[in-house]
Amino acid sequence: MSWERLLALEGGTVGSIACASDRDGTAFAATLAGVFRSVDRGDRWDWLGKGLISPFVQDVAVSPDFERDGVVAAATAVSGLHMSYDRGASWFRQEFWGVRPTVTRVAISPDFARDEVVVAGTQHEGVYVSRNRGRSWNGFASGLEDTEVSAVAIAPGASDGGAILAATATGVLLRSTDVGRTWQRVARADADPLECCAWVDRATAIAGTVSGRLLRSTDGGEHWEAVWTADGDTVNGVAVSAGREIVAVTGGGRLVRSSNDGMTWQEEPVALGGNVSALCVAVSDGCVLVGTNKGGVYRQAGNGPPAAANSGLVNRPILDLSVSPTFAADGTLALATLQDGVLVSRDAGASWATTLEDPGLGPVTAIRLAPGFSDDGIAGGVAGGQVIWSVDRAQSWVRIGGISAESAATLLEFSPDFPADGQVTVGGQDGLLHLSHDGGESWRSVWTGLDRSDVHALAYSPNFARDRAMVAAAGDSERLVVIRSNDAGETWKPWVEYDSALGWASLAILPTFKPDIGPLLLAARDRIAMPPSSGRGPWSGVRVAEGGVAMRQVTLSPDFARDGLAAAATSDGVYLSSSEGREWSRMDGPLEGHAVERVSIAAGDAERRTIHAALGRGEVWRYTA
């Protein structure tokens, strides 16, 4: 058998677009699911994520000499700046003297072939400048502490006196004329923060502001004047074509153009008859590409009307996957998504329906079909930090009370004996768990003993009705702690602690589990860890692969006691173990090198197993063997 794709969610949020030269026609899109590339000015997109440690890409920049050098830069959340030297096929994380900050903006010099300058703006660490194509970096943080860099732009001739601009979310604008060695604050009449900036030539620059103004400087960024106003509609993107046409877009869906260096402007909608929020814009050979919030990319070629251009742009992230306990009979799958609510299939993935769509609710971070789903139709989840509940086989949902919104719930798990005991547990922030013993009717908060920690994972013993055992993993910025309870979650004690922040974790408890001993599997960072056979002392860890493959989830076959089969969702596809988690091998096929967020093993008949894999960027795949 081979992998079969069941779902591809195209579109989504595009925060930055950068185009190569007009002759080349290549464009890159920065998204919540990595980087996408088009080689035909947006007609078709392909995902390029090999080597990207974080999928949350906030900005992208292309070398002006891209046809020859193939250089692209990607600014990511948490994992710093990544560079590609092969047209985006592979990425390499940059080292900022041991610091890997969230990089918010990146710019490549217009004279990159000569001066090799790259500038990166960060969230809390100021501005970093490289003068050798990213091989080494120098930092500048004075005046930029604890604030976000919202825009960077490099003028032509930066290596011989041309200006570099760096703007912050607090309204500060800084200017350097010595390639970032020293910076001066630009005196402005107001503190309206800049959202975007672009150079027309060495003297002329255009910037867009939060309050909805386009500003122009004609003296290298020293002085600015307002040249267009959008009445409070934030200007999110500005770009300049090779022919010096300036194009800007707003959050309210306006596209404005100027063909005389910003002196006068013409306005039109980004999408005809559509209500889109534009976040960025790029221009290539007369073709305008606009990145939007949730709507993907809109493309306008020549004098033609704008139209959505999302073919291949699978960028609507999936955060969780749940498969019915009786999947072989009812074929039910449920997805939790970042921006599309809850999606449900009742025909094994052949078709999908949105059963929860509330734009004001927030991302759905967890979804679970209850152990008795085929009989009682109960499902639960977490959306926007609140518990959601269904009693009609996930066809409709309600928010249930009893847990304060400040608790910021992130995950939910049913007791394996839920039809009999009615227990469900919700994990949240500040080291809190929330217990219900009456099927979600009422809740009680239980402290785990871990202040300021987020609960990343929670698992019930398969023998919960008898041993009342539960295990959880919680962490903060400095550590990850595995904790255990032998009284159905009433009290907790530590089991093992890792003195580093792992960011996420997943737990799977084996059928032979004994309280305080194990066995169980902990997936965190780049390995699967297990307690020793005595239950005491350091846990042993197994790397499923070399090269820093990140673990996202570990799960067991429903017939694990017989087949010993476990699966891991990783940043490099799906890995399987038929040795109770001691040895692992990657599944061959189209998911190799792709970030898989969730994986599930469902039983068919006595000899068949169906594996479902949800890719973080918005795809669901199936493998039956």
In a shared domain, residues 223 and 366: no
Burial class (CB in 10 A: 0-12, 13-18, 19+), 302: exposed
Can you give the three-state secondary structure of 433-480, one letter per residue? Answer: EEEECCCCCCCEEEECCCCCCEEEEEEECCCHHHHCCEEEEEECCCCE
Identify the domain containing residue 152 by its residue range: 10-238
The two structure tokens encoding residue 522: 């902990």
Q: Which of 400, 445, 442 is nearest to 422 (CA)?
A: 442
Please report, for the domain that includes residue 72, its CATH number. 2.130.10.10
| pLDDT beyond 80 at 380 | yes
| CA 345/CA 293 separation, integer angstroms | 26
pLDDT of residue 428: 85
Where does the pLDDT of residue 620 fall: very low under 50, low under 70, confident under 90, or very high at 90 and above?
very high
pLDDT of residue 23: 83
Q: Is 452 left (phi over 0), alpha (psi -120 to 50) or beta?
A: left
- DSSP H helices, 246-396, are 327-330, 373-376
| pLDDT beyond 80 at 447 | yes
Rounded to 5 degrees, what angle do the CA atoms 441, 458, 502 make?
140
| CA 42/CA 558 separation, integer angstroms | 44
Within a domain: residue 598?
Answer: no
DSSP state of 63: -
- Residue with structure tokens 């991302």? 363
Count of Cβ atoms closer than 10 Å to residue 278 Cβ: 28
Count of Cβ atoms closer than 10 Å to residue 357 Cβ: 13
Where does the pLDDT of residue 430 fall: very low under 50, low under 70, confident under 90, or very high at 90 and above?
confident
Listed residues 208, 238, 268: the one ending a domain? 238
| Mean per-residue pLDDT, 362-375 | 96
DSSP state of 560: H
Burial 96-111 (b: 16+ CB within 10 A, else e): beeebbbbbbbbbbbb
| Mean per-residue pLDDT, 383-404 | 91
Give strand pairing partners of 507: 522
Within a domain: residue 495?
Answer: no
Listed residues 186, 214, 238: the one ending a domain? 238
In a shared domain, residues 228 and 326: no
| Mean per-residue pLDDT, 479-495 | 95
In a shared domain, residues 196 and 324: no
pLDDT of residue 330: 95
In a shared domain, residues 365 and 231: no
Provide the number of structural domains found in the chain.
2
Burial 504-542 (b: 16+ CB within 10 A, else e): bbbbbbbeebebeebbbbbbbbbbbbbbeeeeeeebeee
Q: Which of 481, 523, 522, 528 is nearest to 501 (CA)?
A: 481
Q: Which of 326, 333, 351 is nearest to 612 (CA)?
A: 333
Within a domain: residue 578?
Answer: no
In a shared domain, residues 378 and 230: no
Mean pLDDT lowest among 29-43, 163-177, 530-544: 530-544
Within a domain: residue 244?
Answer: no
pTM of the model: 0.91
Within a domain: residue 325?
Answer: yes
Q: Which of 558, 519, 560 is nearest to 542 (CA)?
A: 519
pLDDT tens-digit map of 101-129: 899 999 999 999 999 999 999 998 889 99
Q: Among residues of the chain, what percentage have pLDDT more than 70?
A: 97
536 Cβ partners below 8 Å, 6+ apart?
A: none
Listed residues 447, 481, 501: the one ending a domain? 447
In a shared domain, residues 194 and 336: no
| Mean per-residue pLDDT, 258-285 | 93
Can you give the three-state secondary structure of 192-255, one letter per residue? Answer: CCEEEEEECCCCCEEEEECCCEEEEECCCCCCCEEEEECCCCCEEEEEECCCCCEEEEECCCEE
Mean pLDDT lowest among 34-38, 489-493, 505-509, 542-546: 542-546
In a shared domain, residues 18 and 152: yes
pLDDT of residue 502: 63
In a shared domain, residues 37 and 168: yes
Where does the pLDDT of residue 50 fall: very low under 50, low under 70, confident under 90, or very high at 90 and above?
confident
In a shared domain, residues 179 and 31: yes
Within a domain: residue 176?
Answer: yes
488 Cβ partners below 8 Å, 6+ apart?
A: 423, 435, 464, 468, 470
pLDDT of residue 501: 65
In a shared domain, residues 213 and 321: no
SS3 37: strand
Within a domain: residue 595?
Answer: no
| Mean per-residue pLDDT, 553-562 | 94
Within a domain: residue 234?
Answer: yes
In a shared domain, residues 216 and 364: no
pLDDT of residue 144: 67
Burial class (CB in 10 A: 0-12, 13-18, 19+), 154: buried
SS3 502: coil
* Average confidence score pLDDT of the chain: 93
In a shared domain, residues 77 and 212: yes
Q: Among residues of the chain, what percentage have pLDDT more than 90?
A: 77
